[in-house]
Amino acid sequence: MRIKSILTVDDDENDLFICAYTIRKFDPAVQTLKAMNGVDALAVLRNTTPDAIILDINMPVMNGFEFLDHYASEFSVHAPVVAMLTSSHLSADRERAMRYNFVKSYFEKPLTLANLKLMAEILDHDHN
């Protein structure tokens, strides 16, 4: 399965730019959506279901973990891949994120082409 759209949730404009740039390098046809925090991301998801979500942990208003809680309870259909992309090196953060069945991967910033390739492989695996 080809990734058609990705929602990137991060409060840092530079990280959003790097993600968008890397996604364009990976596949220029991928639609990139963005949100600056979990509240904005939930608003985007009420109108569209992307193929994947890339989520930061540390954000104002609603952090990544608060977003995951709301996302799990509010939506019955989840994007197949939520990839945590964070600067956190804490194994406790990784373990907490991976408790959600729709969180499939956990990457440390910055986003790389290898991360996107892995996400595409996960999507392929989930659809077969």
Distance CA 82, CA 18 (A): 18
Distance CA 22, CA 54 (A): 12
Query: Tokens 């608060």 appear where?
Result: 66
Distance CA 23, CA 113 (A): 8
pTM of the model: 0.92
| pLDDT one-digit tens code per residue, 79-127 | 666 889 888 788 999 999 999 989 999 998 999 999 999 999 988 877 6
50, 32 Cβ separation under 8 angstroms: no
Residue of 59, 56, 123 lying closest to 84 (CA atoms): 56
